[in-house]
Amino acid sequence: MTLGALASSYTAASAAPGSATSADTAQIARGAYLAKAADCAGCHTAAPRVVRPGTAPIPAAPFAGGLGMASPFGTINSSNITPDPQAGIGLYSYDDFAHALRDGVARGGKRLYPAMPYPSFAKIDDDDMHALYAYFMHGVRPVATPAPPTRLPFPFNQRWALMFWDWAFVPGERFKPEAGRDAQWNRGAYLVQSLGHCGACHTPRGPAYEERGYTEASPLYLTGGTNDHWFAPNLTADTGSGLGRSSAEDIAAFLKHGHGGGLVTFGSMVQVVEDSTQYLDDADLAAIATYLKSLPPRAQSGHFNAGSRGALQSVEALKTGELERPGAGIYATYCARCHQSDGAGVPQKYPRLAGNPAVLAPQTTSLVRLLVEGGGSPNTDGGPEPRKMPAFADKLTDSELAHVLTFIRNTWGNAAEPVTTRDVSAVRHALHK
């Protein structure tokens, strides 16, 4: 059956529910998988609601929208993308759907804010787009509740003006396989650049909020970016704060269960692992890891040297309690019981801090935010039991937080810029914590 014939058979299936053929069923299932790879649910599902304090939160209907997303311009609410004809996208034709995903233009001509990652989704190929459409029309339960509208202040409420932004910044091209690379590399590049939209967080943004590149041909692509006070680190082969010391196996394990090579995911990456990457099959995870490991080192920052004299001395000092450096005492009191005196953490439970690229990152927003708010490791199918990292907002002052962060960034062979009290205060002020 050709794609065109398949597409028209969905129309038939929607006219007469229950008439889906097995070819449709297979395609709908593939669409469901691709929707996981693209994390459509992560952005298009509202947070669980706590109805009465002390009772379990009630999960929101999948894909019904209404998740508020922080942007520099204000909060943008995601749309209801269930197949309900009024509240959702039930009236979308295949072309409307592809136009929204690739060009950021909703049915009826409304320009979408780039909080919807259409600059990445432009690269989704036609087969995958058809499978996604089949899934959203026939595999998702319609929800008749409209998502709350987005109200940004002038001039950001002028959606038509996004046309100029799109012209200036969105290449809008389909993914083109690299001829000199094998199928696995190309599969990884495709997943990272299109569905996975990893660059939406991991690529730095320019003054107009545009991502500084959409492929490895751009020198800043995947070199680290900050969104909503989480810094998503450098994914190139930088041996300090990048993936230079992580193996492809570690990266695949990290994406599968949020634990890999002693690192544990935190911050906004927890949701990416829980909602999206844990569902990818082993071949796709290996392809992503292969692609990431092929990126040449860029934006070098931070160092790690496990065997250095300083590294051995600091472990000795923590063990004997001869703590001279500010921050060492705080670490011994508040952190060592989980992360250990030698900074090695506990496998499958607590991350190692020695040589941890996130600890060595040039931007310390994430570290401050994690210490202030605390965190929790991801809950995945078949993964390690989730563990909590306590919040220190009420226990440690800004200068104590700065000291302990500077300490972990310069102990056990770690070497990175100190964190100042002002850095901490700025993040705390922005978070109101």
Q: List alpha helices for 263-302, DSSP H.
A: 268-275, 282-293
Minimal distance in Å, beta carbon 309 to ligand HEC?
A: 23
- Read off φ and ψ for residue 377, nearest 5 degrees: -75, 160
* Residue 138: how many other CB atoms lie within 10 Å: 18
Closer to ligand HEC at the Cβ: 13 or 252? 252
Answer for the pair 400, 330: CB distance below 8 angstroms, yes or no. yes
Minimal distance in Å, beta carbon 143 to ligand HEC?
A: 13
Q: At a CB cut-off of 8 Å and minimum separation 6, what does 386 contact?
A: 376, 377, 378, 379
Minimal distance in Å, beta carbon 370 to ligand HEC?
A: 6
Q: List alpha helices for 140-275, DSSP H.
A: 162-169, 183-193, 199-202, 248-257, 268-275
Answer for the pair 196, 269: CB distance below 8 angstroms, yes or no. no
Minimal distance in Å, beta carbon 24 to ligand HEC?
A: 18
Q: Which helix (H) or strand (E) holds 77?
A: strand 74-77
Minimal distance in Å, beta carbon 52 to ligand HEC?
A: 27
Residues belonging to the binding site are 40, 43-44, 198, 201-202, 335, 338-339
Closer to ligand HEC at the Cβ: 122 or 200? 200
Closer to ligand HEC at the Cβ: 19 or 125? 125
Closer to ligand HEC at the Cβ: 13 or 232? 232
What is the rounded CA–CA span in Å between residue 380 and residue 313? 38
What is the rounded CA–CA span in Å between residue 113 and residue 111? 7
What is the rounded CA–CA span in Å between residue 394 and residue 216? 42
Q: List alpha helices for 114-244, DSSP H.
A: 118-121, 126-138, 162-169, 183-193, 199-202
Residues belonging to the binding site for heme c are 40, 43-44, 198, 201-202, 335, 338-339
Closer to ligand HEC at the Cβ: 24 or 39? 39
Minimal distance in Å, beta carbon 8 to ligand HEC?
A: 21
Minimal distance in Å, beta carbon 176 to ligand HEC?
A: 19
Closer to ligand HEC at the Cβ: 13 or 134? 134
Closer to ligand HEC at the Cβ: 13 or 124? 124
Minimal distance in Å, beta carbon 154 to ligand HEC?
A: 16
Closer to ligand HEC at the Cβ: 151 or 319? 151
CA angle 174, 178, 181 (to 5 degrees): 145
Q: At a CB cut-off of 8 Å and minimum separation 6, what does 322 contact?
A: none
DSSP state string for 296-329? PP-S---EE-TTSHHHHHHHHHHHHT---STTHH
Q: Which residue has the tokens 């509202």?
A: 46
Rounded (10°) angle between helices 94-103 and 126-138: 120
Closest CA to 286 of 380, 215, 198, 188: 188
